Structure 1
Amino acid sequence: MARPNLQTVEVSECWQSLCARQDLVPNSGVVAWMEGAQVALFYLPGEQEGRQLFAVDNHDPLADANVIGRGIVGHLGGSLVIASPLYKQHYRLEDGTCLEYPEQRLRVWPVRLAGDVVEIGLG
């Protein structure tokens, strides 16, 4: 059975291995270390349209804590979001924008599955 292509729409010239597919937890977040940054990975295999794999900064700028990977995934205002576990503000997984505080945002990275390897875009 063929696996769906989970590559993001974003283009990156340089891809780096980050973890294995088996490290991902469906419909939840896991955190990986990449070049001094904590990256929260969200694997959403149940999403029928669009991307199923997202990489955002694990650092919540409002709470000043590394907790985003423990947030709750959901839909709000037509967007796929992650709710911060501390103050419950919502960040769009697509672009990192905070819905309640637009001046706050999470860094996002292009991410894809290359076989059984999760790769993150560096450039």
Structure 2
Amino acid sequence: MNVCAFDVLLPERGVAALLGDVQIALFRTHDGEVFAIGNQDPFSGANVMSRGIVGSRGDVPTVASPMFKQVFDLRTGACLDDPSVSLPVYPVTIRDGQVVVGSGDH
């Protein structure tokens, strides 16, 4: 599903979008990669991941929840602070300048 134009995603920022009836969070990293994860913070239940702090741990692109600051791997959705918790991840491609997000997997 086309979600938005690539150019509207600012580096190191997130935005929320609806993918069907599911809220997702899209992130564009400083090197231009785009990731899509579930927008619901699994620790608080709030739909706030798109407002998280984008960063990295080593070579792992991450986002820290704005609620309780747990850090998640943007590639896999795994919580780096609690390995028993993860976010859904969605495949992303850039096609003709558009961000295309596919169906999710856990």
Q: Same fold (TM over 0.5)?
A: yes
Deviations 1:36-88 (A, max 9, x none): 111100011x33xxx71100000001111101000001112542110000100
SS in 2 for 1:22: helix
Q: Is the 8 A contact 2:12 2:55 kept in 1?
A: no
Q: Which consecutive aligned stretches of 4+ in structure 1 deviate over 3 angstroms post-superposition? A: none
Higher RCO (CA-CA < 8 Å; seq separation 6+): 1
Q: Give structure 2 stretches of 5+ with no counterpart.
A: none
Q: Which amino acid aligns with 2:94?
A: L
Alignment of structure 1 residues 4-15 onto 2, 5 Å: none
SS in 2 for 1:69: helix
Number of equivalent positions: 104
1:71 alignment partner in structure 2? 52
1:3 alignment partner in structure 2? none
2:77 alignment partner in structure 1? 96
2:103 matches 1:118: no
* Offset, 1:23: 2.9
2:40 alignment partner in structure 1? 59
* Offset, 1:112: 1.2
Q: Give structure 1 stretches of 5+ with no counterpart.
A: 1-15
RMSD across aligned C-alpha pairs, in angstroms? 1.6
1:42 alignment partner in structure 2? 27
Structure whose CA Rg is larger: 1
